[in-house]
Structure 1
Amino acid sequence: MNISIVTDSTADISTELALEHDIHVVPAILVLDGRSLEDGRGISREELYRQLPQMKTTPTTAAPSSGSFQNLYETLLQKGADRIISIHVSSLLSGMYNAAVVAAKAFGDRVNVIDSRHVTLGMGYQVLAAAQAARAGKPLDEIQKVIEEIRKRIHLVAMLDTLEYAHRSGRISWSRYNIAHMLKLKPFLGVEDGKVVRLGETRTRQKGVERLYQMLSELGPLDQLAVLHTNAEADALQVVDKFKAMVRHHPLIINVTSIIGVHVGPNGLGFVAVTD
């Protein structure tokens, strides 16, 4: 059976990895100064994060239309796919999963839409595992089991440099923002069962980096590791250098998608780890 794998751009799967594993990516939408741009087009991630502090109008994000998913599903089926597995960002964080579900209705049981309950490489590692299983010729039910199994081993932690951008986008209250701003706290966030959860904070960035190191060390030997950042590549390289010996596969360094980064802001740092 020929099974095609589809995801969206918040999986943070590079163009090279997508081509290597035959993964089809639907871009999310970045709204910048009234213009709707497909994720990755019109402005680079690096340039966006450089410009964010000076922007008078906060960029916003949107899910692609259900028509975008439907057109891709139709194309893949016409090209010979027997079934499609479409894996998307947590339905509690975005409308992309729902848009894919609406599109899939036109194709009956030939399109299976899965809520990853995650974001960035927390979803991306599920997508890569599914693509590898599909290429190995595993049937649909086994690929679904592979996705569920790796999801249980995924851990995502992020340290924000500031809550300003989460506040701008309406993700947090004035009171919480004001307290964090006055104390110059570095908040920690994670993703659990599809929801963003608070994991405390530190008073300085150096203390925050040390806490990231501690949290990563406590996970023990790792199968895979992606170090996430928003224009904080030097810090990300240090994380990889410190932990690469405890990771089975080569670690990834990801300047995260603009769709996530506009809510995180510049100088964010974190990781997605897949435990053994």
Structure 2
Amino acid sequence: MKIAIVVDSTAYLSEEIKDKNNIYTISLNTIFGEETYREGKDITTEEFYDKMRDFDGLPSTSQPSIGDYILLLAELNKEGYTDVISFHLSAGISGTCQNALSAAQSVEGINVHVVDSEIACTPQGLLALYAAQNKDTKPIDELLDELNTLKQKEHMNAYFIVNDLTNLQKGGRLSNAQAFVGGLLRIKPILEFEDGKIVAKGKIRTMKKAQDKVIQLVKSDFEKNGHSDKEMVITIIHGNDEEAADAWIEELKEDSVFSKTTFLKSYFGPVIGTHLGEEALGLGYSDMKLDLTGF
């Protein structure tokens, strides 16, 4: 058995860490009018935010085509892989998982195991990284069961803060946007994935207060799930605002609750950035044991 690990581009793993762990990527798309850009291939994150800022309206996004998946699976089959574990952003907000399942039925000679991460961004990427680092030491059924456990909220979660809900509302990705009608531009919403869908958890008036609220939520999660004495991984994710991400990491490092925590920094690329907007911030955490060289 030879296992390949595939992750979609919304995991935002660095090229270095993908190369080091032999992780393959399938790209989602960002669309400006008649122009389509493959995330991570045709447009950089910086170029995307510049273009979105100047674009009249909201860009759209689309999942990879079934044909893209078929080409990738056929190539992996030629390289001698018998199995693929493929990780994707939540099926509750994208058809990417469904397209992966459809493509898997079109390529003979290779078994495809599609994992709905029920989340997005770095937490999704860390699941793929865990699989890449453990695929040769555990039976695949055992590994898949373990991954299903590790993606549950007692092991992994994320909170997101956006400047306003305009992009999410226009894109239809927020399931309870009606709760914020009349105040979209005056609050900093805290968002979370629940049952694979993005829901708003609170209305905060300033970004700093929203960040403080997220820290309270994470501390509560740590206490509830017994993480306070564990070695944890926290990733701060930013929407074209690296300075804000750095400052938040430094603040968290000073808190004794996170004394055993490894901190990473990541970003919202074009697809997720389309829906969260510029200057969004996120905090994701996990209790997975990983070699994080390359982050």
What is the TM-score normalised by the length of structure 2? 0.85
Mapping of 1:1-276 within 5 angstroms?
A: 1-106=1-106, 107=108, 110-134=111-135, 136-152=136-152, 153-171=155-173, 178-181=181-184, 184-220=186-222, 221=228, 222-244=231-253, 246=258, 248=260, 250-275=262-287
What does the per-residue CA deviation read over 1:6-44, in whole Å, with 9 as the maximum and x for residues that have no partner? 111012222111111111100101112311110023432
Partners of 1:55 and 1:154 in 2: CA distance: 35
| In 1, Cα distance between equivalents of 2:8 and 2:110 | 20
Is the CA contact (8 Å cut-off) linking 2:82 and 2:109 kept in structure 1? no
Give TM-score scaled by structure 1 length: 0.90
- Looking at structure 2, the residues matched to 81 and 67 of structure 1 have their Cα atoms a distance apart, in angstroms, of 19
Secondary structure of the 1:180 match is: coil
Q: Which moved more, 1:47-56 or 1:192-201?
A: 47-56
**CA contact 2:93–2:173 (8 Å) conserved in 1:** no
**Structure 1 residue ranges without an equivalent (≥5):** none
The letter of the residue matching 1:229 is H
Tell me the secondary structure at the aligned position of residue 259 of structure 1: helix
CA contact (8 A) 1:65 1:99 kept: yes
Amino acid in structure 2 at the alignment position of 1:32: F
8 Å Cα contact 1:10-1:89 kept in structure 2? yes
Say which is worse superposed, 212-221 or 73-82, in terms of deviation: 212-221
Cα distance in 2 for partners of 1:174, 1:78 equals: 46
Contact 2:3–2:83, Cα closer than 8 Å, also in 1: yes
What is the SS of the residue equivalent to 2:244?
Answer: helix
Q: What CA distance in whole angstroms lies between the structure 1 residues aligned with 2:177 and 2:143?
A: 44
SS in 2 for 1:231: coil
What is the distance in 2 between the residues matched to 1:16 and 1:249? Answer: 22
Tell me how many residue pairs correspond in the alignment. Answer: 274
Cα deviation digits, residues 47-94 of structure 1 (max 9, x gap): 322443432031100011111111111111211112111121111111
